[in-house]
Structure 1
Amino acid sequence: MTPTTALAPRLSFAIMGAGAVGCYFGALLAQAGHTVRLVARPTHVQAITPHGLRLQTATQDTHVPLQASTDASAVQGADVVLLCVKSTDTEAAAQQMQPHLAPGALVLTLQNGVDNDARVRAVLGPSHPVIAAVVYVATAMAGPGHVRHFGRGELVVGPSPASAHLAQALAQAGIPTEVSDNVCGALWAKLVINCAYNALSAIVQQPYGWLVAQEGACAVIDDLVTECLAVARADNIQLPDGIRAAVQDIARTMAGQQSSTAQDLARGHPTEIAHLNGYVVQRGAALGVPTPVNRAMLVLVRMLEAKLMAKNGL
């Protein structure tokens, strides 16, 4: 479904969990004239409030005036909430937002994993529409209140009565957005790519291009993908064509990028591994599909997490 070219009305957006992804999209929406409020970590709020959010891309390096808060009450009055928290925090974030959401406010989940929209829906109930989105963007927080964009920036969103209107507003803000009847398949396609690279990149703290240059690594990646595809077939997921080629392309187009899981471990933060390789292991067990290579990635990353927690006294 392609958005129409008519000018979309201005909307009020809140970004719940405004890290790199949320700050980037929030900045573009604000530049397009929409009202945007960020719910972010204290260090980012302290930097953004007096100076605005620093947005650094290939074509601009500017400060975008934005409202920012550490409190979930900042979602109050928003027409659309972009949920950008880690998948491990999905239910907690939905519970924090619930008392402050405007009647009928739309929640768009921009997260890794394939079941966040269902988990939010289970918390919010039928009073608020929840739409899944697949995010394709390379961004990072370069410092407090400073987001850097490295590439891409498009979304695929699920169908709903509001989806076409929302896609139009996003596209006019410079966020190419497609409405897909098979957003589940698109979420799974991204999950396969994440399962192929995220854990390996985290374990060795190296970017994708380095990974595939190591002897035997491509065979391990292929084993991970094969297991993911077997689980998807058993779960009746309609994956897009060319998924193996897409996995290979990542090592070329994002050769210098480390995975979000690698970045989390480097910062001593909990990872989303339970919602990536761990999800494949869980669904595989439920469907009778063996997933030994994904299980190995899950266990190795969890051991590294445990080692870091012990080192930090947590």
Structure 2
Amino acid sequence: MRILTVGAGAVGGFFGARLAEAGQDVSFLVRPARAEALRARGLRVDGQGERLRLTPRLVTAGAPGGPYDLVLLSVKATALQSALADIGPAVGPGTAVVPLLNGMAQLDALVARLGAGAVLGGVAKVVTTLNEEGDILRMAPPAVILTGEIDGRPSARVDAIRTVLTGAGIDSPETGDIVAAMWHKWVFISTLVAFTCLMRGTVGEVNAVTGGPALAARLLAEAAAVSGAAGHPVPEAERAFTTATLTAPGSPLTPSLYRDLVAGVPTEADHVLTDLTVRARALGVATPLLDLAALHLRVHEHRLAAGRP
């Protein structure tokens, strides 16, 4: 299968490396700075028993090649619009595009740009980051990509993609309702983002003080209420997993958005939190704590736009 991974950061680089190591025909569409780093060091993945060393095939926005059978879109939300322009020539009549971003706005953007027939739903579950050298560090066991037709129907192309992913050691269980799965991941990540960013600490640091676990429960209740009102109630098992994750004593867990906030760089706040609160208003759901977290992050973005650290 010819595969284009758009982005070779912590998520796209990890999954693309797994697929290339398994013998798939993988190309990486990257920006010049990332391309320079990858040419110098190669694509490296370490941690959790992983040690991959690859010389990746790199393509540019001006010449992405194609058409491809599968496009894995793994850029940050702040780069979504430019990525949509870049991948146009890579998408042919038989191409399936799987977005691995958090949130839901990417589906509307992709369908508007490429047409509904090209777009699948997608959820990535992986805990990775880039170190100072640009190498990928795997920090926890999950390596999962969920995908499916947006309308929920079975399809041969989804089965073929899942087979390729599984063959590369990437868990890809059958998903009857990928849109619901995307909403449920959004509930998890928005709760985690609000929890850590509002309190400016890791999960363990917030839970070490009075009121920490209670805040996690209230944020989860708000996010889950939005998903439920949108027609995608969060199953009890997923709520229990999120609760356990956000109340774990001593946990060093932080989302990438929190790490961007602390580093003083632009974040995906509008895509992850602001969009959720806008949808909450349209659905008549009150989300005062999520609103506060979104406001907190908008101040950060405003400060950056004004040229202040």
Task: Give CA-to-partner distance per residue, 1:37-82, whole Å, 9 cap, x none.
Answer: 1122333211222442111122243421211244263252321110
Q: CA deviation at 1:282?
A: 0.8
Q: Which deviates further from its counterpart, 104-113 or 136-145?
A: 136-145
Structure 2 match to 1:65:
55
Deviates more, 1:161-170 or 1:113-122: 113-122
1:140 maps to 129
* Alpha-carbon offset, residue 203 of structure 1: 4.2
SS at match of 1:103: coil
Which of 250, 256, 262 is equivalent to 2:258? Answer: 262
The residue aligned with 2:235 is: 240
Q: Please give the secondary structure, in 2, of the residue aligned with 1:177.
A: coil
SS of 1:143's equivalent?
coil
State how far apart, in whole Å, the 1-side matches of 2:59 and 2:263 are. Answer: 23
Q: Is the 8 A contact 1:56 1:149 kept in 2?
A: yes
Q: Tell whether 2:17 aligns with 1:27.
A: yes
Q: Which residue of 2 aligns with 1:186?
A: 181
TM-score normalised by structure 2 residue count: 0.89
The alignment-based identity, stated in percent, is 28
3-state SS in 1 of match to 2:131: strand
Distance 2:250 2:99 in 1: 24
1:92 alignment counterpart: 82
Q: Say which is worse superposed, 273-282 or 28-37, in terms of deviation.
A: 273-282
Q: Distance in 1 between matches of 2:92 and 2:274?
A: 34
**1:75–1:97 Cα contact (<8 Å) kept:** no
Change (3 A) 1:120 1:144: farther
Q: What is the aligned partner in structure 2 of residue 288 from structure 1? A: 284
| Within-5 A mapping of 1:151-190 | 151=140, 152-159=142-149, 160-190=155-185
Q: Secondary structure at the match of 1:19?
A: coil
Question: Residues 177 and 244 (structure 1 numbering): CA distance in 2 closer, same or farther, change over 3 Å?
Answer: same
Residues in 1 aligned to 2:254 and 2:64: alpha-carbon distance in whole angstroms: 32
**CA displacement at 1:95 relative to structure 2:** 2.4
Which segment drifts farther, 194-203 or 160-169? Answer: 194-203
Change (3 A) 1:70 1:142: farther
CA RMSD, 1 decimal: 2.2
1:68-121: per-residue Cα shift (whole Å, max 9, x none)? 244263252321110011224333322221133233211111111124223201
Do 2:6 and 2:72's aligned partners in 1 also have CA atoms closer than 8 Å?
A: yes
Q: Give the counterpart letter for 2:209 in structure 1.
A: Q
CA drift of 1:148 comes to 1.0
**Taking structure 1 as the reference length, what is the TM-score of the superposition?**
0.88
Per-residue displacement from partner, 1:212-268 (whole Å, max 9, x unpaired)? 222212222222221222222222114333233111222339921221111222333
**Residue of 183, 202, 206 corresponding to 1:211:** 206
Q: Tell which deviates more after alignment, 87-96 or 192-201.
A: 87-96
**Structure 1, unaligned runs of 5 or more:** 1-10
Judge conservation of contact 2:2–2:26 (CA < 8 Å) in 1: yes
Contact 2:188 2:242 in 1 (8 A): yes
Letter in 1 for 2:11: V
Residue of structure 2 equivalent to 1:8: none
Aligned partner letter, 2:32: P
